[in-house]
Amino acid sequence: MDYLIANPWIMWLAVGVLFLIVELLTTALVSIWFVPSAIITCLLSFIVDNLLIQIAIFVVLSAVFMVICRKIYNKHIKKPVDEVDQNEKLLDKTATVTEDTNAITGRILVGDVYWKATTENGETIPKGETVIIKGVNGTTLIIKKL
């Protein structure tokens, strides 16, 4: 432990490598900003001896890199969301009932995706029928007989 206190650059390098490994395992941009912060703090640890100041530098740099990464992500990486909700694109499409469906429970097949379904007017629609999608309630489609 005394060795790490005498050589804090090793600790900051280890912190950077640890966050790099976490980011590579998650690929969700949850810890990427800690990597450059730890590397810069590692380099500054040769100049700044006080561990509390090093921690403050790490925290401030992490916040700055987080803001920068979010701006880059939102501008260049994040795909824009369509004005129309994706589920609304399902409206008026036809589907096949894969499990008897009523006002409470059921399943349908739309393309190659199975969805929970309920009927619009409470009627029971038997398996194999072709239906039309009339609405979306969360992850449940509201259907009607053709």
Per-residue pLDDT reduced to its tens digit, 9-54 = 999 999 999 999 998 888 777 788 899 999 999 999 999 989 999 9
42 and 98 housed in the same domain: no
Q: What is the pLDDT of residue 1?
A: 66
Per-residue pLDDT reduced to its tens digit, 107-125 = 999 988 899 999 988 899 9
Q: Which of 23, 43, 77 is the last residue of a domain?
A: 77
Tokens of 122: 């409470």
Contact, 124 vs 100, CB < 8 A?
yes
CATH number of the domain at 127, please: 2.40.50.140
Mean pLDDT for the chain overall? 87
Residue 74, Ramachandran bin (φ over 0: left; ψ between -120 and 50: alpha; else beta) = alpha
116 and 69 housed in the same domain: no
93 and 140 housed in the same domain: yes
- Reported as a pLDDT band with limits 50, 70 and 90, residue 103 is confident
Q: How far apart are CA 140 and CA 20, in angstroms?
A: 40
62 and 115 housed in the same domain: no
16 and 33 housed in the same domain: yes
Q: Which of 21, 54, 77 is the last residue of a domain?
A: 77
Nearest to 125 by CA among 110, 104, 115, 140: 104
Q: How many domains does the chain have?
A: 2
101 and 66 housed in the same domain: no
- Reported as a pLDDT band with limits 50, 70 and 90, residue 88 is confident
Separation in Å, CA 100 to CA 114, 116, 127, 134: 13, 11, 5, 17
65 and 99 housed in the same domain: no
Tokens of 139: 């992850």
Share of the chain above pLDDT 70, in %: 90
- Reported as a pLDDT band with limits 50, 70 and 90, residue 83 is very low
Q: What is the pLDDT of residue 86?
A: 66
Q: What is the DSSP letter of 98?
A: E
Q: Which of 77, 95, 114 is the last residue of a domain?
A: 77
Q: What is the pLDDT of residue 73?
A: 78
Exposed/middle/buried for 109, CB within 10 Å: 0-12, 13-18, 19+? middle
Range of the domain at 44: 2-77
pTM of the model: 0.53
Q: What is the DSSP letter of 89?
A: G
91 and 71 housed in the same domain: no
95 and 58 housed in the same domain: no
Q: What is the pLDDT of residue 121?
A: 86
16 and 59 housed in the same domain: yes
27 and 73 housed in the same domain: yes
